[in-house]
Structure 1
Amino acid sequence: MLTADTVDEQWKLVLGMGDGQISAEIPRAAYARLELRQLYPLVSHGVLSFSRCIRFPWLEDVGTIYRRGEGYLVRRASDGATLGTPDTIEEAVDLIVANLPAGTGPAIDGTAEDVPRG
C-alpha cells in the first residue's frame, strides 16, 4: 500500500534524525503509539508535528510537540490552541492522542482538502 509505505519511510527518516534536528526522545515516544505512528510525521526547527495526509499542504489539526526547558509544550497549529505543558514526553504524547480529531485513522494519500472531517 503506497500510503502506508510512504508513512513508514517518513518515520524512518524522522527516527534517524540527529539531535541537531530534534531531540531523539520525541519521535521515539510518538512512534510507540499506534495512533500517531499511522500519521505522517514532520520535523521543523526541533518540533514534531503530524499530518492526517501525506501530501502538501498538510492538515495541521493534530497536536505538535515542542521541547520547552525541562518539559514540553503541546499545541495545535490549526487553531493555535495550547493543549498543555507536560513535564514528560509520555504525557505530551498522551495529550496529543487524547486530542486527536474525531475519526482520525491512517494518513491518506492526498492533501488537507482531501481529509474527511467529521
Structure 2
Amino acid sequence: MTEETTVEKTWRGILEGHPTARRGEPAVIAAAYAEPRLRALYPIPSHGALTFHRNTQDPWSNDLPYIAGDEHSCIVYGPLHVGGVLGDSLTPQEAAALVVAQLTDDCGPAFEGPWPRPDSSVG
C-alpha cells in the first residue's frame, strides 16, 4: 500500500472534519473534491473561500482561480494576483467545473514544497 501524499491527507482531513483540519463550506468542498483535477491540487479553505495551489507549503502559488460561497450560490474569482469575477450565482458543482476549465494542461498535481518549484519548471 502506498503512503498518502500531503495533498491526499489534507483533503481527507478536511472531508472527515479532522480536528486539526481547516473548515470550509461542505457543499463547496465536496464539489471540488469530485473534480479529479482539483483533487490533485492543494486545498486551503479559509474565510468563506476555497483556494487551490500547485504546491504544499507556504509560500503558495496563488495563481489559480478560487471559489467563494456556499451550497446556494458561489462566485469563482480569478487568481489572487489577477483578480476579477469569472462566474457568479453558480452552484458548487458549476463553480468547481469553471475552475477546472480555467486550469492549464500543465497544472497539477501539486508538488511538495514551497512556491516556486526549485527547478523553475513550473510557473
Unaligned regions of 5+ residues in structure 2, if any? none
Aligned pairs (5 A) from 1:1-118 = 5-17=5-17, 21-67=23-69, 70-75=72-77, 76-114=79-117, 116-117=122-123
Does structure 2 retain, via aligned residues, the 8 Å contact 1:61–1:101?
A: no
Please give the TM-score of this superposition, normalised by the length of structure 2.
0.81
Partner of 1:9: helix, strand, or coil? helix
Q: Contact 2:11–2:43 (CA<8 Å) still a contact in 1?
A: yes
1 or 2, which has the higher helix percentage? 1
4+ aligned runs moved over 4 Å, structure 1: none
On the 8 A contact 2:28/2:70 being kept in 1, the answer is no
* Unaligned ranges ≥5, structure 1: none
Query: Do 2:27 and 2:70's aligned partners in 1 also have CA atoms closer than 8 Å?
Result: no
Q: State the identity %.
A: 33
Distance 2:92 2:71 in 1: 12
What is the Cα-based RMSD across aligned positions, in Å?
2.2
Q: Is the 8 A contact 2:25 2:70 kept in 1?
A: no
CA–CA separation in structure 1 for the residues paired with 2:81 and 2:70 = 20
Q: Aligned pair count?
A: 114
